């Protein structure tokens, strides 16, 4: 897998700056953008069963990759607009999730932590 | 900014595997997860103006970072389930966007490419 | 089922007006509201299989009903802000869908019309 | 405004039944459908300011009406699949909201009830 996110961030920033689009990139709009593109990923899975969702044909898989790319691009721009390091944010969240979902309670269960007994 | 995504991916994978959660991580479910978390980012911006969305107070900013982390975690797991390199997907998308939005047509305009004259 | 939507619309309008909330109810914000609440419906179905999604326990069913109510409330307010009759909009869409999905092509298939052969 | 929802529900049900689509209409899928169409409404407002979102041109307004129709159709089908009366759900929610947002606290403020002082 591609490791460097900094290079991608720089490329996305340059793309936006060259087009003078920072004026449109308010966090509110970028948050909507993330959600719009997330829904476009989801649309590809609307009618398939959970099992079938693993086995996309090549065309569908390319389309899903395309939408995943869009989500990541918007997420990077949102992080930039709010000065949030998205990788650090995910890492912090993972730390919190380890607390909320200890292995002995969460193993093999899709229960939300608020419903643990 | 944190550069290495590979390290985060490994940590997320380990978190999921330790809890035996791969069984729930069908692409259909993960796509829903990305969308659910994207909406949770968005909820923080629901009633504020686009201008005010830049100036979050510290509590809100931390909450938004939290949700951004969730989106990235789900996105990484979706990429894993479908064997899609999410950074490569974003880079490819950027190449396509440069074609669709040439600087001379797109500069300073938020028009969708299908509506270019 | 409850037939009258006009009564509900009047109640929602009164609720909003009494609180002087029209100032926040720009179509952009209301569209976000519909999407945020739609995601909250979806969250209840995140980890269950399609089959299990029919058989919610009573608590979950009440929570889903609650979120469905939110989506409809935002949708009515969006219709009001844009002067769009949401029932007429759905009826018109159904007419268009009958054209796009003729019974002989669509019967028993979840294929999108653009992919009909 | 069109008052009768029962007639629309019957028309949507007939549309679905004629195509033998009930098999695809698991609540999980319909919840995704609501969210996907909600995002399509939202896409029309992605880059506009909150003020400009009131003043759509005729083409955009028709497109938004189209997506609103889709959300309502999916919402009706979701209600049907779960035997939830969507209008009653909204009415019940409004009762709850009157409690959570008393006029004297909520008037002119977009604050979430959990943040009332």
Token pair recorded at residue D4: 């009768």
Interface list for chain D against chain A, based on CB atoms closer than 8 Å: 24, 29, 32-33, 35-36, 38-40, 42-43, 45-47
Contacting residues of A for B63, CB less than 8 Å apart: none
Quote the pLDDT of residue D69: 98
Chain centroid offset of residue D84 CA: 14
Q: Position of tokens 């802000």?
A: C81
Output the CA–CA distances (angstroms, integers) from residue B10 to A65, A91, B87, D28, in the order listed: 20, 11, 15, 30
Q: What is the mean pLDDT of residues B65-90?
A: 97
Asked whether the beta carbons of residue A35 and residue B41 sit closer than 8 angstroms, the reply is: yes
For the stretch B18-75, pLDDT in tens is 999 999 999 999 999 999 999 999 999 999 999 999 999 999 999 999 999 999 999 9
DSSP, res A91: H
Contacting residues of B for C40, CB less than 8 Å apart: 39
Q: What percent of chain D has pLDDT over 70?
A: 99
Quote the pLDDT of residue C4: 82
Nearest CA in chain D to A33: D46
Q: What is the mean pLDDT of residues D52-81?
A: 96
Quote the pLDDT of residue A111: 86
Token pair recorded at residue C22: 């029209």
Q: Position of tokens 């395309």?
A: A66
* Integer Cα distance of B36 and C43 in angstroms: 6
Is residue B5 scored above 70 in pLDDT?
Answer: yes
Asked whether the beta carbons of residue A42 and residue D29 sit closer than 8 angstroms, the reply is: no
H helical segments located in chain D: 5-18, 27-43, 58-82, 86-100, 103-106
Nearest alpha carbon to residue D31 among B24, C59, B29, C3: B29
For the stretch D5-48, pLDDT in tens is 999 999 999 999 999 999 999 999 999 999 999 999 999 999 99
Nearest alpha carbon to residue B33 among D101, A35, A78: A35
Q: Spell A4-23 as b/e; 16+ CB within 10 A means b.
A: ebeebbebbeebbeebebee
Per-residue pLDDT band at D116 (split at 50, 70, 90): confident
Quote the pLDDT of residue A115: 83
Nearest alpha carbon to residue D52 among C28, B48, B50: C28
Quote the pLDDT of residue D117: 73
Nearest CA in chain D to C51: D26
Task: Please list the ranges in chain C whose pLDDT falls under 50.
Answer: none
Q: What is the mean pLDDT of residues B11-21?
A: 96
Nearest CA in chain B to D50: B49
Asked whether the beta carbons of residue C15 and residue D97 sit closer than 8 angstroms, the reply is: yes
* Integer Cα distance of A111 and C110 in angstroms: 31
In this complex, which of D29, D39, D43 lies closest to A47 when CB atoms are compared? D29
Hey, CA dihedral for C16, C20, C21, C22, is it positive or negative? positive
Q: Spell C90-110 as b/e; 16+ CB within 10 A means b.
A: bbebbeebeeebeeeebeeee
Per-residue pLDDT band at B1 (split at 50, 70, 90): low
Token pair recorded at residue B98: 């440069």
In this complex, which of C24, C42, C46 lies closest to B47 when CB atoms are compared? C24
* Integer Cα distance of C86 and C5 in angstroms: 10
* Integer Cα distance of B85 and A3 in angstroms: 10
H helical segments located in chain A: 5-18, 27-43, 58-82, 86-100, 103-106
For the stretch D79-103, pLDDT in tens is 999 999 999 999 999 999 999 999 9
Mapped onto helix, strand or coil, the DSSP state of residue C4 is strand
Chain centroid offset of residue D3 CA: 16
* Of residues B3 and B12, more confidently modeled: B12
For the stretch A67-109, pLDDT in tens is 999 999 999 999 999 999 999 999 999 999 999 999 999 999 9
* Integer Cα distance of C26 and D51 in angstroms: 7
Nearest alpha carbon to residue B61 among A35, D49, A79: A79
Quote the pLDDT of residue C88: 95
> Which pTM does this prediction carry?
0.96
Per-residue pLDDT band at B113 (split at 50, 70, 90): confident
Residue pair C13/C80 in contact by the 8 Å Cβ criterion: yes
Mean of the per-residue pLDDT values of chain A: 94
Is residue A1 scored above 70 in pLDDT?
Answer: no
């Amino acid at each position: 897998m591609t490791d460097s996110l900094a290079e991608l961030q720089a490329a996305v920033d340059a793309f936006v700056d060259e087009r003078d689009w920072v004026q449109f990139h308010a966090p509110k709009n970028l948050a909507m953008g993330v959600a719009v593109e997330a829904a476009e990923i989801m649309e590809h899975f609307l009618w398939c069963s959970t099992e079938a969702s693993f086995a996309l044909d090549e065309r569908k898989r390319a389309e899903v990759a395309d939408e995943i790319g869009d989500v990541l691009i918007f997420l990077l721009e949102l992080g930039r607009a709010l000065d949030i390091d998205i990788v650090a944010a995910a890492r912090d969240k993972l730390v919190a999730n380890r607390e909320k979902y200890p292995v002995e309670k969460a193993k093999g269960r899709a229960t939300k932590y608020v419903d643990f007994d």
